[in-house]
Chains A and B, each alone.
Chain A
Amino acid sequence: MMEIFTSLLTSGISLATPLLLAALGEIIIEKSGIINIALEGMMLVAAFFAMYVALISGSPILGLVAGVFSALLSAAIFALFCVGAQADQIITGAGLNIFALGLTGVLLRRIFGLTGATITAPTFTILPVPFLQKLPIIGPALFTQNALVYLALLLIPITWLLLTRTRLGLHLRAVGENPAAVDAAGLPVQRLRFAAVLIGGSYCGLAGAYLSIAQANTFIEGMTAGRGFIALAIVIFAGWRPFAAAAVALLFGVASALQFQFQAFGLKVPYQFFLMLPYILTIVVAAFFRHRIQAPAAMAKSYFREG
């Protein structure tokens, strides 16, 4: 029984990691008053280039760097559109998602030929942490994971510190609430938002790279499979708080791990209802607890000075 629980937790954490990374990135972006529904696309681009560079260089680390860099690039495009030119954030995001799906698909086929299914990229291997892995139950689950999981765990407090303990974080939170006040205080509104999109974009890069070179060890067309949208849900569910996002991501991760367990045991439970749960809960939370969770007041609104 204990073993089942531990293995459930282990795979739950592994499945939760990309969700968590993307959600943390989106928290930073949304805190600055920008809604980025192109998480899906940014992750996809990162997943592809991480796999590609890892494969040709033989180094998963270089792959990771490439993944983050490519996500940064797509985040920069998004920021140029939505912050620079003040284009509509929703439509730009939707456009980027489609574009990323197409681009990675075309590149995959062009570089790896017809099937592409047989790629095996060098990956981040399991890296047990000495001593800590011996802890009962959570030891193996938390500390026999790959380096990216540890990085994600570290990024939870780091993101929290960034938002609540640094000047940049203060400015980002302010700009997402009342950009006019930030402007009046003599701070550069657009540059702050640009920075938020880039930081958040690099998190998406980590998330995407995780999918291809830490989890699947390959790239499949459209492999994000809605994870970007789950991350969006997590952000709302967690009320834009990093630690809460970690908890919610874990919940969702374990829920999908449970699905595999059910299948492995041949249980005929309609697991789709499990997978539906995060979305249903998010709607419920957004509708009925919105007085407790505070969305950034200026979200999705472009800012330009009057007069």
Chain B
Amino acid sequence: MMVDKRHAFSGVREIRLQGIQKHFGPISALAGVDLTLKAGEVQALLGENGAGKSTLMKILFGLYRPDAGAIYFDHQPAKINSSADAMQLGLGFVQQHFSLVEGLTVAENIVLGKLPSRFYEPRSLQQQVQNFINTNGFALDAAAPVRELSVGERQRVEIIKALYRQANFIIFDEPTSVLAPLEVETLFATIRQLQANGKGIIFITHKLDEVLQISNRITILRGGKNVATLETSAATAENLARLMIGEIAPPIAAVNHANKSKSAVVLQVANLQVRHERRHVTVHDISFELHAGEILGVAGVDGSGQRELAETIMGLRAPNAGTIVWNFHRDKAQSRLHRQRIGFVPPDRLTDAFVPEFSVAENLLLESSDNAQFRRAGFLAAAKVKRHAEKLIEDFNVVCKGPQQKLRELSGGNQQKLLLGRALGANPTALVAMNPTWGVDVAATAAIHQRLFDLRQRGGAVLLFSTDLDEIYALCDRFLVLHAGRVMGWATAATSTTQVGLWMTGRMSATTD
């Protein structure tokens, strides 16, 4: 590491990341990405979920170590091993999850780790920080406890924290995803102000409007690779959407887009509203019907309200308004009996779905421990449980040592196949699946997709939530696009990816701009 970093790098004009590579296990998150950041510009980093935006920024900020590649500050190589190093080099990072201490005041949060003397007097500290806040043109009460601040105000605290640490470059990771519309305006004003003061801004997002509104340069990533870097003045919403999403490969199996509206309605959702605790992202007034024999998709980026919608439909979250009616069972969705009829694939297998320390067989029992199929005289019948597990392992081609192996020892793909097997094992009438192929290799993905087709073929209904548009296009008979908790539009595989991309990023149509 360089000596005296502060002096060596103060007033840095340019940061260059070159050939950055990063693997998580077998999955490549970044396959040699380049990026140049300049002082006094707002550069948007655009890409779908999993494109590698956040990973790249975490590497720049020292939170991840790259497998290959180099970072240059004004042509001098820099080693960033921790966030402390990054801050020393004049970097600030406003993450989606703020790192603020709720019980402390704004002033205390801002100076945390930077207090020069052993003792301090709260009032004079507050005054001092208040002056700093005012001179930087922010409106914020330094004496207020962070606990009482709104989300927008908290974000401002994070920005001021970065400035207090003399950051020259500030990374914003999807800063608008947690904000209400008015707060977005305030944030943009702040960003323009920072830019005018010569700061370099990196703005991670997948909202096209914002990109066009705030940035002067745009870098687009897809699948961990550079797709393009262009001046904002040369960009249009259409070409950005196309660059971001790319060409969707034709569906792996011939999807029969027959008109399904004649077959029975399995699930009816009407005027559903869900509020997430303390976040602005909610589900607004959603209505749809799921029919037997169809795969209905819900597309959207992370944080678009997919998770809240899925949890509400499964009865794990109470709706604020609206109704959810499963036509075969009017009972509350909580009951275990119900779970036999509706398979569920939650988004995160290790935290939502499984007990990693338990055996494969036990994990398959999680939803159906009361099922008579596994009992003898009230007790769990080990032989029946084992036979069931063996059959599932075989049916779903799960590679493992047997029913007794601990679940956490299985690969991600095999865990996911097992999860799908569990959800489909009882021959459900319907399946609600969230990102069923997340973090899974190609072969397992194909196997899982085949299962969903099979269920549809048997007349089952599938509600597929996915952030992966390829998957949505490949599987769904029709799908709705969710953005900020609202249905932006309905689409089929025939709908252009540009249109869908615009919807996903918050644009109603391609006509304006």
Contacts and interface: CB of A to CB of B under 8 A. Distances in A.
A and B touching (Cβ–Cβ under 8 A) = yes
A307 B101 contact: no
A177 B117 CA distance: 22
B63 to A, nearest CB: 7
Contact of B118 (A166, A184, A294): A166
Contacts of A94: none
Interface string B107-141: 01000111101111110000000000000000000
Contacts of B103: 173, 177, 294, 296-297
Contact of B113 (A166, A177, A178, A185): A185
B393 to A, nearest CB: 31
B104 A173 contact: yes
B99 A167 contact: no
Contacts of B63: 307
Nearest to B112: A185
Given A173-B104, A307-B64, A184 B99 contact: yes
In this complex, which of A164, A168, A170, A296 has the most chain B Cβ atoms within 10 angstroms of its Cβ? A170
A186 interface: yes
Contacts of A166: 118-120
Interface in B430-483: none
A180 interface: yes
A165 to B, nearest CB: 6
B122 A186 contact: no
A174 interface: yes
Nearest to A166: B119
Given A167-B115, A170-B115, A186 B104 contact: no
> In terms of DSSP, what is the predominant structure of the interface of chain A?
helix
A266 B332 CA distance: 63
Interface residues on B, range: 20 to 34
A186 B121 contact: no
B83 interface: yes
Contacts of A168: 118
A239 to B, nearest CB: 12
A173 to B, nearest CB: 6
Interface in B83-98: 83-84, 87
A181 to B, nearest CB: 4
B87 A186 contact: yes
A182 B84 CA distance: 11
A186 B82 CA distance: 9
A181 B120 contact: no
Nearest to B65: A307
Interface string B57-100: 00000011000000000000000001110010000000000011
Contacts of A171: 112-113
A160 to B, nearest CB: 12
A187 interface: yes
Contacts of A294: 103
In this complex, which of B64, B119, B122 has the most chain A Cβ atoms within 10 angstroms of its Cβ? B119
Nearest to A296: B103
Nearest to B82: A186
Nearest to A176: B103
Contact of B117 (A167, A181, A184, A187): A167
Contacts of B102: 177-178, 297
In this complex, which of B64, B114, B115 has the most chain A Cβ atoms within 10 angstroms of its Cβ? B115
16 contacts: A165-B119, A165-B121, A166-B119, A167-B115, A167-B120, A170-B108, A170-B120, A173-B101, A174-B108, A177-B103, A178-B99, A182-B112, A186-B82, A297-B102, A297-B103, A307-B63
Given A180-B99, A307-B63, 14 more contacts: A165-B119, A167-B115, A170-B104, A173-B101, A173-B104, A174-B112, A177-B102, A182-B113, A185-B112, A186-B82, A187-B112, A187-B113, A296-B103, A297-B103
Interface of B: 63-64, 82-84, 87, 99-104, 108, 112-115, 117-122
